Amino acid sequence: HSGHQWWKEAVVYQIYPASFNDTNNDGRGDVNGVTEKLDYLKDLGVDVVWLSPIYDSPQVDNGYDIADYKNIYPPYGTLEDVDRLIQELGCRGMKLVMDLVVNHTSDQHPWFLESRSSKTTPKRDWYIWKKPRYDADGKPGPPNNWNQILGEAHSAWIFDEATQEYYFAAFTPQQPDLNWENPDVRAAVCDILRFWLDRGVAGFRMDVINLISKDQSFPDAEIVIPGQPFQPATQHFANGPRLHEFLGEIRREVLDKYDQMTIGEMPFVYDDKEFLKVVHQNDGFLNMVFHFELVDIDSKRGDVPGDSRMSMGHWDVSDLRRIIARWQRVMIDGSGWNSLYCENHDQPRSVSHFCDDSDEYREYGSKLLALMEATLSGTIFVYQGEELGMRNMPLEWGPEEYKDIESVNYWKKVNEMYPNNPERLQQARRALQAKARDNGRTPMQWDGSANGGFCPEGVTPWMRVNDDYPAVNAAAQTDPEATSSVYNFWQKLLALRKENAGTFIHGGFELVDGTNPHVLSYVRGADSGEKWVVVLNFTGNLAAWEMPKWGLQWVVGNYADGLDKAQGSDECLILLRPWEGILARQL
Ligand code: TEU
Ligand code: CA
């Protein structure tokens, strides 16, 4: 963690390669499609591009099932294309971050093919193999009751006929977990890291990195879904006993020797103090982590196995305030570092998730979230299309438009559990529309031409393009005159954030009016004494906000006439319109 910490002020833009830009007309995005759009990203204010996996893969989980860590999935391009991308990024002063998926591999990876071939091959122990457990009647079954995360209502243990043992696969049967207890596995991971760093990559987003150390006693999970043989078990392998040790080894062996950035994805637990240890600036292991408390704000466990993320629980501004304040404070006060994101390829679109994506409010909601993200401490992550205010898939689309393995399995499970129950099926369709990962994966909307300009007319895109592309697209929004443009708003805010990095990126954080039922507001302050106030109405109603004694100078807002509004208001009370957000300087 030595040297200047460029990654703190960097704006990172996440690209989901399949859905970004198709340049060879096969209906899937590709590496050259990324290279083609670098000026668009540069203009927005992006410094770092994070690419979701582009490695060779059978694509059971869209590349999060890797069969070859050192080659590119042919439809995406070649290693030479990646070299050219890195070079073109470099010409613009930008960097590339790759996705590192090493909790598991594809079942087609040669390591796994060898591992499953016999009980005595040295690769056997690279994965997690166990003998069957016998029940009271002497019937063999999986070694414990852990269920699959993305799979069907199924055990996470997969029986392998050839050797009569089970292997562990937390996500789907095609994604067997690596056995990190084996030092050869850890050495192989270090080798992959070096391969990409030596090629000029500037860091890694580490997929489910908090799952690599499993409780070696593999205990049964507590029963939280009655009547189901298999239960959610992530508590037994999230932030496990040897996590710090394994991360420390990678840091020592590889990361410390390069000027790079690391972001650990850490789902399933929200323990801020635990995460602080991982990112602490003196003795941490990674530069930052993705926590899930914000995006899981509405996730309550339901009665379909593994569907907690698909649930639509109630939340309000007090939940949002608690989550935002908790992470800002613990990281700032504790010398850690935040990452900021409202959406990614595993989440619904943020304007649909946290605000209102109707034609009336889509623009305001998207800009409200931009105001929040751009004024919090941490490294900012913008997900492709977020800068345009792209929204979820339409409710009218049928289940066949959902391509993600999690959605497909969810729909199958609901149909098995509630056959001939139209009400439940309708509810499940609403859940998919609100929460499915597919929502973040529809093709990028570049312009108003066929297929939103993602691929030419006559080519069938791998996922259906959102019907709203004639209204919501990059060409319309990059026009500097377009006042309603979400893109232009993001661009302005990202520039303002950098000009005032001492405040917005590195400054202090204090809540204001911490009990307001509609409005999230906070002060960001720099060492210089300069203070900025952010006031965000997270409801679709008029909301009153009591102005503190000190005066305010309005700087930016998501309503065109925000300036008059705030200045002309009564001396103590400001009335905010639906989803209105303002950024003001303290006088
Ligand atoms: O996701 C890990 C993860 O736990 C969630 O984000 C996941 O989408 C959710 O639990 C599903 O209910 C990462 C990747 O980002 C995701 O795309 C992969 O499917 C997953 O790991 C497995 O590699
Ligand atoms: Ca293509």
Residue listed under structure tokens 């992550």: 381
Tell me the CA distances in angstroms from 85 to 33, 68, 94, 168, 533, one per residue in order. 10, 20, 10, 36, 39
Atom of ligand 1 nearest to the CA of 308: 12
Task: Provide the pLDDT for residue 548.
Answer: 79
Q: Which CATH architecture has domain 508-586?
A: Sandwich (2.60)
What is the DSSP-derived secondary structure letter of residue 69?
Answer: E
pLDDT in tens, 192-225: 999 999 999 999 999 999 999 999 999 999 998 8
Question: Do 431 and 311 contact (CB within 8 A), yes or no?
Answer: yes
Residue listed under structure tokens 């030596």: 198
Nearest CA among 163, 73, 71, 76 for reference residue 112: 163
**ipTM of model over 0.90:** yes
16, 69, 207: which to mutate for ligand 1, most atoms within 8 A of CB?
207
Is 102's C-beta closer than 6 angstroms to any atom of ligand 1? no
Confidence of residue 551 (pLDDT cuts 50, 70, 90): confident
Confidence of residue 572 (pLDDT cuts 50, 70, 90): confident
Atom of ligand 1 nearest to the CA of 268: 4
Share of the chain above pLDDT 90, in %: 88
Q: Is 447's pLDDT higher than 60?
A: yes
CA distance linking residue 474 with residue 208, whole number of Å: 32
Task: Provide the pLDDT for residue 1.
Answer: 37
Task: Provide the pLDDT for residue 547.
Answer: 82
| Of 65, 107, 265, 363, catalytic | 265
CA distance linking residue 66 with residue 175, whole number of Å: 8
pLDDT in tens, 286-340: 999 999 999 999 987 666 766 778 888 899 999 999 999 999 999 999 999 999 9
Tell me the CA distances in angstroms from 457 to 228, 246, 422, 467, one per residue in order. 47, 49, 37, 15
Q: Is 91 helix (H, G, I), strand (E, B) or coil?
A: helix
Superfamily of structural domain 110-168: Oligo-1,6-glucosidase; Domain 2 (3.90.400.10)
Strand order in the sheet with 165-168: 129-130, 165-168, 157-160
CATH number belonging to domain 7-106+183-219+235-394+437-477: 3.20.20.80
Boundaries of every domain in the chain: 7-106+183-219+235-394+437-477, 110-168, 395-435, 508-586
**Residue 171's Cα: distance from chain center in Å?**
16
DSSP for 482-521, please give it: -TT-HHHHHHHHHHHHHHTHHHHTTSEEEEESTT-SSEEE
CA distance linking residue 267 with residue 176, whole number of Å: 18
pLDDT in tens, 131-186: 999 999 999 999 999 999 987 779 999 999 999 999 999 999 999 999 999 999 99
265 C-alpha to center of ligand 1: Å?
A: 9
Q: What burial class does residue 137 get, using C-beta atoms within 10 Å of its C-beta: 0-12 exposed, 13-18 middle, 19+ buried?
A: exposed
CA distance linking residue 77 with residue 51, whole number of Å: 13
What is the DSSP-derived secondary structure letter of residue 266?
Answer: -
pLDDT in tens, 35-70: 999 999 999 999 999 999 999 999 999 999 999 999
Confidence of residue 275 (pLDDT cuts 50, 70, 90): very high
In angstroms, the first-to-last Cα distance of the chain is 37
For 246-343, list the strands marked E by DSSP: 261-265, 288-290, 339-340
**Residue 322's Cα: distance from chain center in Å?**
20
Confidence of residue 436 (pLDDT cuts 50, 70, 90): very high
432 C-alpha to center of ligand 1: Å?
A: 16
Q: Is 422 helix (H, G, I), strand (E, B) or coil?
A: helix
For 240-389, list the strands marked E by DSSP: 261-265, 288-290, 339-340, 379-383
pLDDT in tens, 86-102: 999 999 999 999 999 99
Question: What is the residue-averaged pLDDT of the chain?
Answer: 95
CA distance linking residue 155 with residue 141, whole number of Å: 10
SS3 content of the chain, % helix, strand, coil (to 5): 35, 15, 50
Q: Is 556 helix (H, G, I), strand (E, B) or coil?
A: strand
Atom of ligand 1 nearest to the CA of 101: 23
CA distance linking residue 533 with residue 375, whole number of Å: 9
Task: Provide the pLDDT for residue 2.
Answer: 39
Is 205's C-beta closer than 6 angstroms to any atom of ligand 1? no
CA distance linking residue 55 with residue 46, whole number of Å: 23
CA distance linking residue 489 with residue 485, whole number of Å: 6
